[in-house]
Structure formats: C-alpha cells, structure tokens
C-alpha cells in the first residue's frame, strides 16, 4: 500500500502512474471535492513547452514533451497550437521571443487571419507553435480523479494525511527548504462574440497575457507572477492590466462578462523546476511552479519509478 | 567609493526583478560581484508575503537597497519606505516617485518633497531623478548625499539619451556621488556612463532579460570597470588631423 498526501495535480498524476504499475494506492485530501484545494484549478492548462522555454530551463521541453499524449489518456486535449502576437509598437518583443524559442513558424497577418478568423486585421506578425496544446484544468483534474478511482485508487476526501506518507504532494503547504510561493492571478471571461480555437499569447513589455479558450464561450486569462505568499483576491492593478491586454487582443472583450476571478500560490524551488525530494521520512513531489500540467506527468513517472524501486530509464 | 559613509568597491548596483528564476538571479549576483542589490517593495508584498523570495537572497552577502518602485505619490512612497525599513532593517532607500505611468518618468516635485520627509526621518535616500541640475540641487538641500540620474526611461535599454546633461551634472556636482539609474541596455552604455565620470551604474532589465543573465552581469561589471579606469586615466581628446604614432627617428635606410 502506497500512501499519498494531497489529491491535487501532483498527487493524482502520481497515483495514476503507480496504479497503472499495479500498486495499491490511497490518497488523502483535506478538501471535500476533487481539485477543490488545488492551485491547479487556477491554471491556464497550457501544454506549451516551446513557449515556456522563453524564460525557463531546457527541462520544460525534455520533461514536458510527452505531456499532451499523457493527458490524452484521461481527458480532452485540444491540439491546436499556440499563437503568439504583439501590438505593432512592441514588435521587438516578438523578435526577442523568437530568438529564445524553437518549433514555431513565423506567420503573417494573413496567415493569422486564416488560423483565427476573429483576429483578421488585428496583428501583422506572429509566431505559431503548431505542436503545442491545451486542456481545461478543472475538467482534467476531475477526469484524472475518475481515472485513478477506476484503477482502484482510494481517495479519502475531507481527510488529513497521517504525519508520514510515502509521497507528499501538498504543494505550498509542505515545509520544504528553499520552497517558496509564487502568486498568480487569473480571470474567467464569458464572451461568446469572440471565437478563438487556440491559446493566444500577447507579448507586451509590461502586461504579457495568455488567453486560453474553454468550452461554451469561456476564456481564461492570466499571466501575473508575483513573489508573494498571499492568496488574497486579485488586485485591481493586475486585473486592470490583464483586462486591458485582453481588450488589445480583441475589442469585443470589452463586453465580456467576468465570470470569476482568482489567485493561486504556485510552489517553486529556486530554479523554478520541479523535483523529488526526500524530507522528514517522506518523498516529496513539489515545485511544479507555473508548469503543473506540463511537467506533472514526467514527475509522476519519476515518483512511481522511485517508489516502486524501478530503474529510471 | 563611499555612499553615505559606507565603503563600496563594486560600482555596479544590481536590480533583482524579472529574472527567469531566483537561481539565475543568484548566479548573476555572483558573476557581477555587486555589493548592493535593489529589492522592489510592491505594496502587495509589504506585509512580508514576499519573504520566500527574499530569504533566497539573504545569504548573498550583498547590502540590500530597497526601493519604492511603482509609487505615484509622496504619501505612497513615504509609507513604502517606512515599511521597507521595518522589513529589511536598513535606513537605505532608493526613492522613486513616478510621475507618468507610460514613461515612468520621475515626478521631480514629489520626489523632492518625499526626499525631504524621508531625510528628516533619518533615511539615507538614493533618489531616482532626471538629469536636471536644479532638481539635483533641491535634492541635496533636502538632505540627499548622492544623486541617481536616469540614462533613459526605466527598462527601455536605450542607453544614455542625453550624455551632455550627465557631463554637465558631473561638472556641477564634482563631489557628489552620481549613479546612473535606468536606461542601460548594453555593456557599452555602462562604459559610456562611467567615461563621463559617473561613480556607479544601477541596472536590472539589461541583465535580467539577457539570454544569459549571468554572463551579461559579468560583462556589465567589466564594462563598468573599463569605463571607470578610462575616466580616471584621463583620456586623450580627439584631434582633427592624423598624427603618426610611429617614431620617425632611426628609420631604416632602404636604399
């Protein structure tokens, strides 16, 4: 029997990998519902290793390369790529982004209009990362919880974990050396007037934004990173900047309904990369930072290998 | 170089924002050999919620210069400075009072007022100002012992927009430490500032947003040292005419 503390993204993904290898697993989750207590519910759900490489280490590509295939086993993954655009005044941002990334095609205004007709005439240049994908984080967490339960994993909701578990996946609640919280803010907009089928990233020197289309005319917007462990509601400044940026992508967002705003605390180690750490008698999987859905599969596989004493390949 | 009575040997002051990760920032601090790092205190982290990040910088051995980045009024800047003093246990403060949110240009009127309040309260104020001489004088009257004129707007990386004004500042304030703050994009910009006789350079984005921040930090430190030595060594003035640099005496008879 393997015990895991935390049925968030890392805990569920690890349980899935362990159960698939035939292990018997019990998850302890303080919250009453799947995903309710997880910072992942505020995530964008982008599986965008090449875009993330702009400001992250090479590992986001090597560890994140298989994420879309992994998630396709349990939930709906939209493989429509990422479109990166910038206002005409900030073209230099696009050039810099292109220098730091790979696996994209430079696209003209006309090609952008073919990819996303709603953006016709709005941007003259862009970068298209065709191999990237996205998913709906809350649906993915639900689907993953269902998948692990059907593999025989027991999830004890509303139950604190015993002091010692085999695997601790409690994100910022774990007191690990050098682990810190990085605050992120997001909003969900309802805007059926705008039809977009893929993730749009707007580059801007001060207010970069990602906009992730979800079902039923919903869009998630996010992009702030604040070195803070405060989980209070998003600030007016952050919201103003994010919403201005959304308006810069398409003016119809001015009429969008703000369905939800939220802030989450992402656990991060000093190099902003996740890792497995032995601490106080438990193995910890932590530090997924802003790459939860992208890197959880690879880290979960590593955790399963480790716990079942398999040799890592 | 002495800043408020403290001996500082590195003439590079490094900002700590916008790095890809704290690990990369630590490496950049090491390769830059900076002795002073600036830490931005946003109001939202003034309650100590940013402690996780600051904890990672504590053992860097650097002196922390907190700043009031993003403050738009005297009141806001003063309160932020007071919070910073509590949080970091230092009376040093880099004072920014922003007058325009697009250009991030200092509001020099608010700056002088805030400097007066903070100096009277015992702060050692590092004012982020323009290259205006009269404003500089007012800041010194307010109690500042050094000035930090901009090279170009914050984060723009344009280099020195008005080198003549900085040269005039050097001449006008021969004994006041002058630190170019903001606008440096490339190592040659930093050299340029130092060749004008500036005492130090404060920069952040140019290193944080470089492809290899640690290498750029090293390049900036070397550029600053080169410019500083170049100024002290008293460079030659340009001439209109060519002057042969080979001695004519003792030339070989070729026939």
Domain ranges of chain A: 2-68+134-178+270-307, 82-130+180-268
Q: Is B234 left (phi over 0), alpha (psi -120 to 50) or beta?
A: left
- State the nearest Cα–Cα gap between A227 and chain B, in angstroms: 5
Q: Which residue has the tokens 């350079």?
A: B201
Listed residue (A155, A201, A224) closest to A52, CA to CA: A201
Distance, in Å, from the CA atom of B205 to the CA atom of B183, rounded to the nearest integer, reads 9
Mean pLDDT of all residues belonging to chain B? 90
ipTM value, please give it: 0.80
Is residue B60 classed exposed, middle or buried when 0-12, 13-18 and 19+ CB atoms within 10 A define those classes?
middle
Which member of B27, B58, B63, B94 is catalytic?
B94
Mark yes or no for CB contact B56/A180 under 8 Å: yes
Distance, in Å, from the CA atom of A245 to the CA atom of A256, rounded to the nearest integer, reads 13
Which pLDDT does position B255 carry in this prediction?
61
Nearest to A227 among B20, B50, B209 (CB): B50
Distance, in Å, from the CA atom of A298 to the CA atom of A65, rounded to the nearest integer, reads 9
Which pLDDT does position B251 carry in this prediction?
64
Which of A184, A263, A270, A275 best tests the B interface by mutation, with the highest count of B CBs <10 A? A270
Distance, in Å, from the CA atom of A50 to the CA atom of A64, rounded to the nearest integer, reads 9
Both structure tokens of B136: 């500089």
Which chain B residues are within 8 Å of A229, Cβ to Cβ? 49-52
- State the nearest Cα–Cα gap between A176 and chain B, in angstroms: 11
Which chain B residues are within 8 Å of A173, Cβ to Cβ? none
Superfamily of domain A2-68+134-178+270-307: FAD/NAD(P)-binding domain (3.50.50.60)
Q: How would you list the strands of the sheet with B36-40, edge to edge?
A: B148-149, B124-129, B92-95, B63-67, B36-40, B12-15, B200-203, B179-181
Task: List Cβ neighbours of A280 (8 Å cut-off, separation of 6 or more).
Answer: A164
**What are the tens digits of pLDDT across the range B196-255?**
999 999 999 999 999 999 999 999 999 999 999 999 999 988 888 887 777 666 666 666
Both structure tokens of B11: 């003439």
Contact B124, B142 (CB under 8 A): no
Which pLDDT does position B155 carry in this prediction?
85
- State the nearest Cα–Cα gap between B11 and chain A, in angstroms: 27
Which chain B residues are within 8 Å of A56, Cβ to Cβ? 20-21
Nearest to B56 among A56, A178, A205 (CB): A178
Mark yes or no for CB contact B56/A228 under 8 Å: no
Question: CA B16: distance to chain centroid?
Answer: 13
Which chain A residues are within 8 Å of B104, Cβ to Cβ? none
Instruction: State which residues of chain A have pLDDT below 50.
Output: 311-313
Closest residue, chain B, to A205 (C-alpha): B155
Which pLDDT does position B44 carry in this prediction?
55
CB pairs under 8 A between A and B: 52
> What average pLDDT does range B107-126 have in this prediction?
96
Distance, in Å, from the CA atom of B65 to the CA atom of B93, rounded to the nearest integer, reads 6
Which pLDDT does position A2 carry in this prediction?
93
Measure CA of the first residue to CA of the last residue in chain B; give whole Å: 59
Confidence of residue B27 (pLDDT cuts 50, 70, 90): very high
Q: Is B162 annotated as a binding residue?
A: no
Which pLDDT does position A311 carry in this prediction?
42
DSSP for chain B reads -EETTEE----EEEE-SS-S-HHHHHHHHHHHT-SEEEEE--GGGTTTTTHHHHHHHHTT-PEEEEE-TT--SHHHHHHHHHHHHHHH--SEEEE--BS-TTT--B-HHHHHHHHHHHHHTT-EEEEEE-S-HHHHHHHHHHT-S-BEE-SSSTT-----S-HHHHHHHHHHSTTS-BEEES---SHHHHHHHHHTT-SEEEESHHHHTSSSHHHHHHHHHHHHHHHHHHHHT-PPPP-SS----S--TTPPP--
Listed residue (A213, A281, A287, A282) closest to A253, CA to CA: A213
Nearest to B52 among A57, A181, A205 (CB): A181
Active site residue B94: yes
Nearest to B52 among A96, A180, A235 (CB): A180
Mark yes or no for CB contact A228/B50 under 8 Å: yes
Both structure tokens of B34: 């900076």
Confidence of residue B190 (pLDDT cuts 50, 70, 90): very high
Mark yes or no for CB contact A229/B42 under 8 Å: no
Distance, in Å, from the CA atom of A215 to the CA atom of A218, rounded to the nearest integer, reads 6
Q: Which residue has the tokens 């946003």?
A: B42
Which chain A residues are within 8 Å of B26, Cβ to Cβ? 270
CATH architecture of A82-130+180-268: 2-Layer Sandwich (3.30)
Burial B171-195 (b: 16+ CB within 10 A, else e): eebeebbbbbbbbbbbbebbbbbbb
């Amino acid at each position: 029997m393997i015990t895991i503390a935390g049925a968030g993204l890392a805990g569920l993904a690890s349980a899935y990998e362990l159960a698939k290898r035939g292990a018997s697993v019990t998850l302890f989750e303080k919250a009453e519902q799947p995903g309710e207590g997880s910072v992942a519910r505020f995530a964008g759900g982008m599986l965008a290793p090449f875009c993330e490489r702009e400001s992250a280490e090479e590992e986001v590509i090597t560890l994140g390369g298989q994420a879309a295939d992994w998630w396709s086993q349990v939930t709906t993954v939209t493989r429509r790529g990422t479109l990166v655009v910038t206002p005409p005044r900030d073209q230099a941002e696009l050039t810099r982004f292109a220098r730091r990334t790979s696996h994209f095609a430079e696209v003209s205004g006309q090609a952008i209009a073919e990819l996303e007709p709603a953006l016709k005439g709005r941007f003259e240049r862009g970068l298209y990362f065709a191999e990237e994908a996205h998913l709906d984080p809350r649906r993915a967490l639900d689907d993953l919880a269902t998948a692990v339960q059907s593999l025989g994993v027991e999830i004890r909701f509303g139950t604190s974990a015993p002091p010692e578990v085999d695997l601790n996946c409690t994100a910022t609640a774990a007191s690990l050396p050098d682990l810190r919280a990085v605050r992120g803010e997001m909003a969900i907009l309802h805007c059926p007037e705008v039809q977009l089928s893929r993730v749009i990233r707007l580059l801007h020197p001060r207010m970069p934004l990602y906009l992730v289309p979800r079902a039923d005319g919903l869009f998630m917007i996010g992009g702030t990173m604040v070195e803070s462990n405060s989980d209070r509601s998003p600030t007016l400044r952050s919201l103003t900047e994010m919403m201005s940026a959304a308006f810069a992508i398409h003016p119809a967002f001015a009429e969008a309904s703000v369905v939800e705003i939220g802030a989450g605390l992402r656990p991060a180690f000093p190099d902003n990369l996740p890792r497995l750490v032995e601490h106080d008698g438990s193995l910890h999987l932590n530090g997924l930072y802003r790459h939860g859905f992208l890197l959880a599969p690879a880290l979960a596989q590593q955790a399963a290998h480790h716990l079942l004493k398999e040799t890592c390949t | 170089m002495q800043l408020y009575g403290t001996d500082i040997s590195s003439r590079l002051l490094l900002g700590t924002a916008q790095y890809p990760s704290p690990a990369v920032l630590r490496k950049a601090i090491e390769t830059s050999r900076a002795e002073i790092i600036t830490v931005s205190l946003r109001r939202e982290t003034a309650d100590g919620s940013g402690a996780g990040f600051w904890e990672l910088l504590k053992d860097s051995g650097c002196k922390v210069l907190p700043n009031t980045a993003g403050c738009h009024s005297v009141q806001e800047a003063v309160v932020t400075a007071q919070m910073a003093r509590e949080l970091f246990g230092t009376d040093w403060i880099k004072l920014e009072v922003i007058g325009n949110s697009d250009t991030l240009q200092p509001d020099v009127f608010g700056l002088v007022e805030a400097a007066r309040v903070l100096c009277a309260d015992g702060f050692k104020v590092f004012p982020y100002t323009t290259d205006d001489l009269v404003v500089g004088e007012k800041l010194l009257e307010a109690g500042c012992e050094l000035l930090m004129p901009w090279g170009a707007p914050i984060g723009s990386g344009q280099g020195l927009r008005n080198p003549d004004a900085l040269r005039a500042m050097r001449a006008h304030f021969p004994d006041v430490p002058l630190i170019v703050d903001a606008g440096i994009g490339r190592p040659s910009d930093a050299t340029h500032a130092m060749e004008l006789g500036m005492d130090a350079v404060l920069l952040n984005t140019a290193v944080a947003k470089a492809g290899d921040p640690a290498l750029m930090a090293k390049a900036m430190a070397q550029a600053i040292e080169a410019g500083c030595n170049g100024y002290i060594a008293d460079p030659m003035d340009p001439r209109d005419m060519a002057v042969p640099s080979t001695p004519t005496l003792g030339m070989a008879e070729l026939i």
